[in-house]
Amino acid sequence: METITTTTDLTFEQDIDEGLTAPLKNISSKYFYDDLGSVIFQDIMKMPEYYPTPCEFEILSLQGENIIKKLNFDEPFNIIEFGAGDGIKTRQLLKKLLENQVDFTYVPIDISQKAIEELEANMLGYLPGLKIKSIVGNYFSMIDELSEMQQPGLFLFLGSNIGNYLEEEANDLLGQFNNHMKSGDKLLIGFDLQKNPSVIRDAYDDSQGITKAFNMNLLQRINKELGGNFKKEFFDFYSHYNPLNGEVRSYLVSLKQQEVSISKIGKTYSFRQNELIWTELSKKYTIAEIENLAINNGFELVEHFLDCKHYFTDSLWTK
Ligand code: AVJ
């Protein structure tokens, strides 16, 4: 077992300053996942409205054998997972591989130290024979190190994390993945599919207010880490799904005209009443969009693995 730690959040202050001085104020969704945020996200995944988790769980539980058949690796390989989270879905696939005596090393990468420690303990508890080499860090900073690996790679980018990226950013990220992959390496990537808009709306605006707490934690995190004085009671949460382009956009809303200072930046920011802070994009894809994304970034589609409701796909691409 080995843990490589890289420095993250070097630009948290700059990012926040930039975001809070932009015409449309914004805070990147990548800042959701501090230790508390990762715990709240676990709660989101347990909500009855949040369908992506059970859908992907179903795919990886029932279609593992089909996925393995399509890998076509004839030597030991690495499974590199970006944004590994709790690994409950992934371990369904890993279990199938171990049962089939496939020789691989699991390399999970996550930005939360706590999440990765728990992941490692859980994985080894559930799959004692697993070879695992965890990495704590931002995957943009890890990708160069990974490209030096000699063995074939199966890259996992599950959970519809790609949905958080604007089109240009998604192309940029997938292009970088591609650049660091060898011919024949595979990418298994999760996409949330367009579906009945009400189903999507409910998943991102739950009645218990868990998604609201997830967003509010951004303010708490700025208070804690940067000495901000945001008052939660003066902000609300609003999220909106547009079925015409498949975009869920989430916001914090300033409930009054107010000033917030952040001591570590040494600045005060003004908010108008009802002014928005954009916090997240969660893009829902069509199959045609997914296939274009693959081709535009140097991949070939191998197969889409869908759940029985056709809400979600884990699509296998090859370089
Ligand atoms: C972790 C990016 C897949 O967009 O569905 C859940 C995060 N945000 N509810 C998503 C999230 C609000 C989630 N991803």
- Give the pLDDT of residue 10: 61
C-alpha 70/C-alpha 39 separation (Å) is 34
| Interface predicted TM-score (ipTM) | 0.99
Condensed to tens digits (0 to 9), the pLDDT of residues 57-86 reads 999 999 999 999 999 999 999 999 998 777
CATH of 52-195+284-318, one of 3.40.50.1450, 3.40.50.740, 3.40.50.1000, 3.40.50.150: 3.40.50.150
Give the Å distance between the CA of 45 and the centre of ligand 1: 9
User: With a 6 A CB cut-off, is 211 part of the ligand 1 pocket?
Assistant: yes
**The ligand 1 atom nearest the CA atom of 203:** 9
Residue pair 83/165 in contact by the 8 Å Cβ criterion? no
User: With a 6 A CB cut-off, is 105 part of the ligand 1 pocket?
Assistant: no
Span 115-135, mean pLDDT?
93
Give the Å distance between the CA of 80 and the centre of ligand 1: 21
Percentage of the chain beyond pLDDT 90 is: 84
Alpha helices in 227-262 (DSSP H): none
Show me where the domains of the chain are located: 10-48+205-283, 52-195+284-318
Confidence band, pLDDT 50/70/90 cuts, at residue 140: low
User: With a 6 A CB cut-off, is 279 part of the ligand 1 pocket?
Assistant: no
Atom 1, ligand 1: residue with shortest CA distance:
161
Span 305-318, mean pLDDT?
98
Residue pair 187/299 in contact by the 8 Å Cβ criterion? yes
Give the Å distance between the CA of 109 and the centre of ligand 1: 18
Give the Å distance between the CA of 139 and the centre of ligand 1: 18
C-alpha 277/C-alpha 28 separation (Å) is 10
Q: Residues 145, 147, 151, 153: is their CA dihedral positive or negative? A: positive
Q: 0.80 exceeded by the pTM?
A: yes
Condensed to tens digits (0 to 9), the pLDDT of residues 167-195 reads 999 999 999 999 989 999 999 999 999 99
